[in-house]
Chains A and B, each alone.
Chain A
Amino acid sequence: MAATEVTETPAPVVAPDAGKRRSLTGYVLILPAAVWLGLFFVVPFYSLLANSLFDPNGSVLTGYKVTYHFANFWHALSDYHGPLLRSLWYAGVATAICLVIGYVLAYAIAMKAGRWKNVLLVLVVAPFFTSFLLRTLSWKLILGDNGWVVNTLQAVHVLGSNGRLLATPVAVIAGITYNFLPFMVLPIYASLEKVDGRLIEAAGDLYASPIRAFGKVTLPLSMPGVVGGTLLTFIPAAGDYINAALLGSPNQRMVGNVIQDLFTTTGDYAAAGALSVILMVIILALVVFYVRKSGTEELL
Chain B
Amino acid sequence: MSQVPSPAAGGTSEGRDLELTQLTKEFASFTAVKSLDLVVPQGSFFALLGPSGCGKTTTLRMVAGLEQPTSGTIALGGHDITRTKPYRRPINTVFQNYALFPHLTIFENVAFGLKRRGVKQTHPQVQEILQLTELTEQAAKKPAQLSGGQQQRVALARALINRPEVLLLDEPLGALDLKLRRAMQLELKRIQTEVGLTFVHVTHDQEEAMTMADTIAVMNAGVIEQMGSPAELYDNPRTTFVANFLGQSNLVGGKILGADGDSVVVDMQGTKVSVPRQRAHSTSGAGWVGIRPEKVLVAPQGEEIDAPGNHMRDAVIVDASFIGVSTQYVVKMPWGQEMLAFEQNTGRRGVMAPGTKVDVSWRPEFSFLLDASQDVGAGREDA
Contact = CB atoms under 8 A, between A and B. Distances in A.
Contacts of A208: 87, 112, 116
A153 interface: no
Given A199-B99, A199-B101, A220-B103, A205 B66 contact: yes
A207 B117 contact: yes
A202 interface: yes
B164 to A, nearest CB: 9
Contact of A207 (B95, B99, B162): B162
B97 interface: yes
B93 A207 contact: no
Contacts of B65: 204-205
A112 interface: no
B101 A205 contact: no
Nearest to B96: A198
Nearest to B92: A205
B102 A207 contact: no
A206 B112 contact: yes
B357 interface: no
Given A205-B92, A208-B116, A221 B97 contact: no
B101 A204 contact: no
B57 to A, nearest CB: 12
Contact of A198 (B87, B95, B159): B95
A176 B154 CA distance: 47
A206 B103 contact: no
Contact of A217 (B85, B86, B87, B101): B101
B64 interface: yes
Contacts of B159: 205-206
Contacts of A217: 101
Interface string A203-216: 11111110011001
Interface in B174-191: none
Interface string A125-143: 0000000000000000000
Contacts of A220: 103
Contact of B86 (A204, A212, A216, A221): A204
Contact of B99 (A198, A212, A213, A216): A198
B87 A204 contact: yes
B113 interface: yes
A79 interface: no
B180 to A, nearest CB: 22
Interface string B65-103: 110000000000000000001111001110101011111
Contacts of A207: 87-88, 113, 116-117, 162
A297 interface: no
Interface residues of A, number: 18
B158 interface: yes
A261 interface: no
A207 B85 CA distance: 9
A216 B112 CA distance: 9
Contacts of B102: 199, 221
Nearest to A213: B87
Contacts of A201: 66, 86, 95, 99
Interface in B112-137: 112-113, 116-117
B113 to A, nearest CB: 4
A202 B95 contact: yes
Nearest to A198: B99
Nearest to A201: B66
Interface in B148-164: 158-159, 162
A205 B93 contact: yes
B166 to A, nearest CB: 12
Max chain B C-beta neighbours (<10 A), residue from A198, A207, A220: A207
Given A207-B117, A212-B116, A202 B162 contact: no
Interface in A158-205: 196, 198-199, 201-205
A44 to B, nearest CB: 38
A202 B86 CA distance: 10
A205 to B, nearest CB: 5
Max chain A C-beta neighbours (<10 A), residue from B65, B86, B88: B86
A206 B116 contact: yes
Contacts of A203: 101, 112
Given A198-B97, A212-B116, A205 B103 contact: no
Contacts of B92: 205-206
B93 A202 contact: yes
Which 10 A-B pairs rank lowest in CB-CB distance, beginning with the nearest?
A202-B99, A206-B113, A207-B116, A204-B86, A198-B99, A208-B116, A205-B93, A220-B103, A207-B87, A204-B87
23 contacts: A196-B99, A198-B97, A199-B101, A201-B95, A201-B99, A202-B95, A202-B99, A202-B100, A203-B112, A204-B86, A204-B87, A205-B86, A205-B87, A205-B95, A206-B116, A206-B158, A206-B159, A207-B87, A207-B162, A208-B112, A216-B101, A216-B116, A221-B102
Given A202-B100, A203-B101, 14 more contacts: A198-B99, A201-B95, A201-B99, A202-B95, A205-B91, A206-B113, A206-B162, A207-B87, A208-B87, A208-B112, A209-B87, A212-B116, A213-B87, A221-B102
